[in-house]
Amino acid sequence: MPTQDELKAVAANEAARLVADGMIVGLGSGSTASLAVEAIGRRVAEGLSITGVPTSQKTAELASRLHIPLLTLDECDEIDVTIDGADEVERDTLNVIKGRGGALLREKLVASATRKLVLIVDESKVVDRLCPEEQAIPVEIERFGWRGTAGRLTALGAKWTQRMTNDRQPFVTDGGHFILDCTFPPFDAVEVDRLLNNVVGVVEHGLFIGMAKEVIVARNNGQDTTKSEILHLRPSR
């Protein structure tokens, strides 16, 4: 049976095929997105001419090593396609949870400037319904007065844990913010999105509602256990 990493690589390679000469391409962050950046880098080495817009410092460093020309978001008016990973995908809507890698603010800024947001996942990430009461939503908050912000989240019913580094220091995003990983009472994801958008001190959060145009899913084909197949999911409503 293909491993999870092998499935991710299949989805990443499929997504890289969507990139064409002359495109401005948003380059996502995280383990799956990095595989797509590497696949795009191989195509650049073969002569593909594109420009990338990275969503994190780690992605910028990887793209530079692969000799992918880069722009900042301020240097382009519109991005043709962005390829990124996701932590959980709702099958019918393609609403997603992102940001467990810590780059959610820049990922959402790049996605918002993109004509077509394509997400790549293995089959384990696809669910019938996002469940904010079970799966933590990353919430990026301003460090100044952060405990007050945490209190406002608690007042909404959230249970939060401050994200820490491996050496038990507060995790700090590329933008200099903290992240609280929050679960909520049994609201639907759209309601949680609305609530978080109105909390003072919240910079951004990991619910991407109505943004993805396509999700490329790699899964075991169920017949040959050494091979994978690709699903192209699009929102049904």
Of 119-128, 182-191, 215-224, 227-236, the poorest mean pLDDT is in 215-224
User: What is the pLDDT, as a whole number, of residue 109?
Assistant: 98
Per-residue pLDDT reduced to its tens digit, 50-92: 999 999 999 999 999 999 999 999 999 999 999 999 999 999 9
User: What is the pLDDT, as a whole number, of residue 225?
Assistant: 55
**What's the pLDDT band for 175 if we cut at 50, 70, 90?**
very high
Q: Which three-class secondary structure state does DSSP give residue 158?
A: coil
Q: In angstroms, rounded to a whole number, what is the distance separating the alpha carbons of residues 66 and 57?
A: 14
Query: What percent of the chain is predicted at pLDDT more than 70?
Result: 97
Distances (CA, A) of 159 to 80, 129, 137, 182, 202: 38, 20, 10, 5, 15
**pTM for this one?**
0.93
Per-residue pLDDT reduced to its tens digit, 183-221: 999 889 999 999 999 999 999 999 999 999 999 999 987
By annotation, the residues acting in catalysis are 107
Question: What is the DSSP secondary-structure string of 132-145?
Answer: TTTSPEEEEE-STT
Q: Is the pLDDT of residue 33 over 90?
A: yes
**What's the pLDDT band for 4 if we cut at 50, 70, 90?**
confident
Contact 84, 125 (CB under 8 A): no
Q: Is the pLDDT of residue 224 over 90?
A: no
Q: Is the pLDDT of residue 223 over 90?
A: no
Q: In angstroms, rounded to a whole number, what is the distance separating the alpha carbons of residues 143 and 81?
A: 32
